[in-house]
Amino acid sequence: LCEQVSHPPPITALHAESKNYRLHFSLQTKIKFWGKGVEVQPIGRLTLELLRHNEVYTWNFINSCAHNVIVGKLWVEHYGNLEICNHSNKLKAHLNFKSCGWFGRDLHVVEGTVQSPTKETLCFLSGKWPEELISMPPSAAVLPSSVSSHQSREASPTYAVTNGVSDAAAHDGSGASAPLPFASSEPRPILKKGSSMQDINQDGVRLLWRAAAMPPGYDAFYGMTNFSYCLNELLAGMERKIAPTDSRLRPDIRLLEEGKTNESAAEKHRLEEKQRAARKVRERQKDQWIPRWFQESMNPYTEMKEWVYSGTYWDRQAFDTCPDIY
């Protein structure tokens, strides 16, 4: 469940739950236009409760930038520092989402560490966020400074992150091997000489996750995954069970899914004008907007104010008082 609880400033609240977890956050965004690209700066923290394990995690958002929004091939990158905190055992993961840079060498690269409450490094993390993430314990690595001086860094054994875990070296696109990237605040370790990458579990090196293959034709459908495809699915009879403000009922999104971009843009403009008119009516009547499904509260883990789900969405009688926004 997601609701825009404020505008302006634009603040979105989200709540998702199952028998295994609860996920919730409040997100405020700031947008900057850089001529060729649009940067989104999100403000807020996410909270994930793993109910079966009695663990709670919180982490912050990082910046995103969409390049070539006016002309050229559109592409997106994420960058910034991400801190994940386990409030049950006080472990923390520090991840650095690298900016692409001028030559694209660090495109999508993620590097970081997991640290104990005493700031002892327990393992290193590396990968690319659209592909995979790999963990390596300190015992499986040596620092480049400990490699003999006559051995060049390019000739050192390196750990692959771009072509799968079985590769012996990563490449930056020019054909030269590149060392495994890690957090800039930490020395950059490399795999011990003689270590084999054929067995992923050797020396404690683990593949934490790898992205599933994209569905056929994804590039023609806005780069959506199978999960994203399902978010706008509206089965027969479903309209009687969801709120009239449900995003699956948005006509502009439905037209966009059908490939009718011009009609979708016109419909989006109509909806925006309708919302502006409704806001002016509320201002004249001095009627303050009150969020329907969320209420402001203090998050006990982040000690920050957050919009928390009120638990009343599935009350069908509440649907009758929903505003006509479409």
- 193-205 tens-digit pLDDT: 444 344 455 668 8
93 contact partners, CB below 8 Å, separation of at least 6: 82, 83, 84, 112, 113, 114, 115, 125
Phi, psi values for residue 20, rounded to 5°:
-105, -25
| pLDDT of 103 | 82
| pLDDT of 141 | 57
| pLDDT of 200 | 52
pLDDT at 162 over 80: no
| pLDDT of 21 | 97
Q: How does residue 122 score in pLDDT terms, banded at 50, 70 and 90?
A: very high
Is the four-CA dihedral 280, 268, 250, 296 of positive or negative sign?
Answer: negative
Task: Give 264-305 pLDDT, tens digit per residue.
Answer: 999 999 999 999 999 999 999 988 888 999 999 999 999 999
Higher pLDDT, residue 314 or 79: 79
> What is the distance of C-alpha 4 from the center of its chain?
19
Average pLDDT over residues 226-248: 88
Q: Please, are residues 61 and 42 in contact by the beta-carbon 8 Å criterion?
A: yes
Which class for 298: exposed (0-12), middle (13-18), buried (19 or more C-beta within 10 A)?
exposed
Higher pLDDT, residue 140 or 72: 72
pLDDT above 70 covers a percentage of the chain that reads 80
Structure tokens at 154: 């390019």
Average pLDDT over residues 203-222: 86
Task: Give 42-75 pLDDT, tens digit per residue.
Answer: 999 999 999 999 999 999 999 999 999 888 888 8
pLDDT at 7 over 70: yes
- How far separated are the first and last CA of the chain, in Å rounded? 18
Measured in residues, the chain has a length of 326
CA distance to 13, 15, 125, 318, 319, per residue, from 293 (Å) = 9, 10, 38, 10, 11
Q: Please, are residues 265 and 274 in contact by the beta-carbon 8 Å criterion?
A: no
Question: Which of 54-68, 121-135, 201-215 has the lowest average pLDDT?
Answer: 201-215
Instruction: Give the integer Cα–Cα distance in Å for 186 and 188.
Output: 6
Which bin fits 150, alpha (ψ -120 to 50), beta or left (φ > 0)?
A: alpha
| pLDDT of 30 | 93
Average pLDDT over residues 210-234: 86
| pLDDT of 90 | 96
**Extended beta strands in 150-261, E state:** 170-171, 177-178, 190-191, 206-210
Is the four-CA dihedral 228, 106, 160, 216 of positive or negative sign?
Answer: positive
Instruction: Give the integer Cα–Cα distance in Å for 81 and 86.
Output: 17
Of the CA atoms within 13 Å of residue 49, those in its CB half-sphere come to 15
| pLDDT of 321 | 85
| pLDDT of 74 | 86
> What is the distance of C-alpha 39 from the center of its chain?
15
Instruction: Give the integer Cα–Cα distance in Å for 291 and 298.
Output: 16
Average pLDDT over residues 98-109: 88
Q: What angle do CA 226, 227, 232 make, to 5 degrees?
A: 100
Average pLDDT over residues 74-97: 95
> Tokens 């236009």 — which residue?
33
| pLDDT of 185 | 41
Q: How does residue 259 score in pLDDT terms, banded at 50, 70 and 90?
A: confident
